[in-house]
Amino acid sequence: MASITLENLAHSYLSDPKGETDFALRELNHTWEDGHAYALLGPSGCGKTTLLNIISGLLQPTRGRVLFGEQDVTQASTAQRNIAQVFQFPVVYDTMTVGQNLAFPLSNRGMDARYIEERVQRIAQMIGLEAHLGQKARGLTADLKQKISLGRGVVRDDVNAILFDEPLTVIDPNLKWELRTQLKSLHREFGHTMIYVTHDQTEALTFAEKVVVMHEGQVLQIGTPQELFETPAHVFVGYFIGSPGMNFLPVSVEGRHAIAHGHTSALAQDYGHPQGDIMLGIRPEFTSLTKGEGLPVMIKRVQDVGRYKFVNATVFEREINIVLDAHIEIEADMTKVSFDPDKISIFSNDWRIDPASGGKL
């Protein structure tokens, strides 16, 4: 096992990239620490798969280096990198049994038969495949096949990293819970470095200790789920994390006040007089309906979603979403919306302003 360092890494699919926009992956410096679980999160086409392919060795980067530990592996083949990968669609050896599938990476490396047997048993038990060990892999359900792929990844104890490329795409919602839990248990048990690519924020946040949010080839923020949720560094992170995402209102800010169309909202910190396009960001969870103070709101739709109430509304013709506790009754005279000052973020030209550090994050 080893840490993975990306040094001045950039990639373009064009042979002669000119400007920044020609790059599918813009310059990036980052170290994935040994034994941690990371997620690469972003919409389709954000460059996350490009980055994964560079780490797995499928793609040679246009610029920069990839280091495993101290060793430069930029030019090394996938096999030389000693990694494991779980793909979007289950990749299993159809004609082999489940047990043979799990043993395959070990027997190819000439491991001792007794060790293989023992190891396969242990992994099968951990991911709930014991009952299927003797069955042919073909004809199993998608979730079982995906478990086999996962098992083949963790069966070797010396892999540098395990890469996941949207592994739960074809899995039913109910079974996702089980697979996710097993993934976590495996990580705790074996301590592999894991990198998980997904467009699904729930999967990314629940899986990873640190999440890398990408957009248009650029890494916007690397942080813990809590940091991404509470202090998004960029408007896109605010929008992408959370379900529904952050609400945004164009405002002007003066010290501890944000002003929109003559209505003032209190801020928890003194922002001074920030320049540029100023946006107020507030999560639906910290937005509430009131009878008195706040901005005028037009409620368009209220939906009971069981655990909470989902309210879709407009404020100054901008759409906002509000998440209310299930037991809160919405009354006819709730015509205003107010924001929790502690939870407000202020963005200038799409980037978050952090007054405590005296400027942008």
Partner 1 sequence: MTQKTNNQRAWFLVLPVLALVAFSSIIPMITVVNYSFQDSFGGNEFFWVGLEWYRELLQSERLWDALGRQLLFSSIILLIEIPLGILIALSMPKKGWMASLCLVLMALPLLIPYNVVGTIWQVFARADIGLLGRAISDLGLSYNYAQNAFDAWVTVIVMDVWHWTSLVALLSYAGLRSIPNAYYQAAEIDQASRWAVFRYIELPKMSGVLIIAVLLRFMDSFMIYTEPFVLTGGGPGNATTFLSIDLVKMALGQFDLGPAAAFSLMYFLVILLISYVFYTVMISADNDGTAR
Partner 2 sequence: MSLRLQGVSKSVDGEVHIHPLDLELEKGTMNVLLGPTLAGKTSLLRLMSGLDKPDSGKIYWDGKDVTRRRVQDRDVAMVYQQFVNYPSMTVYDNIASPLKMQKRSAQEIDAKVQEMAELLQLADLLHRKPSEISGGQQQRCAIARALVKDVGLVLMDEPLANLDYKLREELRIEIPRLFAASGSIFVYATTEPEEALLLGGNTATLWQGHVTQFGPSTQVYHRPADEITARVYSDPPMNFLPVRKQGGMVHFPNGQSTRATRAAAAMPDGEYRAGFRAHHLEVGGDTAGKIAFEAKLIVTELTGSDTYIHVETAGERWIGLVPGLQTFEIGQHVPLCLNPDNVFYFDQQGKLAGSTPLATQMVGA
Q: Which residues bind partner 1 (CB under 8 A)?
A: 56, 58, 77-79, 83-85, 87-89, 91, 93-96, 104-105, 108-109, 135-136, 138-139, 149, 152
Nearer to partner 2 by Cβ, of 273 and 301: the residue is 301
Q: Which of 184, 149, 188 is nearest to 169 (CA)?
A: 149
Residue whose entry in the numeric block shows the structure tokens 């996938």:
78
Number of amino acids touching partner 2 (CB under 8 A): 49
Q: Is 243 in the site for partner 2 (CB under 8 A)?
A: yes
Work out what residue 78 binds among partner 1, partner 2, none; the CB cut-off runs from 5 to 8 Å by kind: partner 1
Q: Is 165 in the site for partner 2 (CB under 8 A)?
A: no
| Residue choice 47, 57, 245, 281 for contact with partner 2 (CB under 8 A) | 245
Residue whose entry in the numeric block shows the structure tokens 């049994």:
97
CB of residue 51 to partner 1, shortest distance in Å? 16
Nearer to partner 2 by Cβ, of 112 and 189: the residue is 189
For 129-153, b/e burial (b = at least 16 CB within 10 A) is: beebbeebbeebeebbbbbbbbbbb
Classify residue 183 as exposed, middle or buried by CB count within 10 Å of its CB (0-12, 13-18, 19+). buried
Residues 179-218 that bind partner 2 (CB under 8 A): 180-181, 184-185, 188, 199-202, 205-207
Q: Is 298 in the site for partner 2 (CB under 8 A)?
A: no
Work out what residue 359 binds among partner 1, partner 2, none; the CB cut-off runs from 5 to 8 Å by kind: none
CB of residue 105 to partner 2, shortest distance in Å? 26
Work out what residue 361 binds among partner 1, partner 2, none; the CB cut-off runs from 5 to 8 Å by kind: none
- Helix runs in the chain, H state only: 48-56, 78-81, 98-108, 113-126, 142-154, 173-190, 201-207, 225-230, 235-240
Q: Is 173 in the site for partner 2 (CB under 8 A)?
A: yes
Amino acid found at 216: E
Work out what residue 112 binds among partner 1, partner 2, none; the CB cut-off runs from 5 to 8 Å by kind: none
Q: Is 275 in the site for partner 2 (CB under 8 A)?
A: no
Do 294 and 337 form a contact (C-beta atoms < 8 A)? yes
Neighbours of 331 (CB within 10 A): 9
| Residue choice 292, 307, 317, 357 for contact with partner 2 (CB under 8 A) | 307
CB of residue 13 to partner 2, shortest distance in Å? 17
Q: Which of 155, 144, 162, 50 is nearest to 90 (CA)?
A: 144
- Helix runs in 155-294, H state only: 173-190, 201-207, 225-230, 235-240
Query: Which residue(s) pair with 281 in the sheet?
Result: 248, 345
3-state secondary structure of 346: strand
Contact set with partner 2 (CB under 8 A): 43-45, 172-174, 177, 180-181, 184-185, 188, 199-202, 205-207, 224-226, 228-230, 239-245, 283, 285, 301-307, 309-310, 312, 326-330
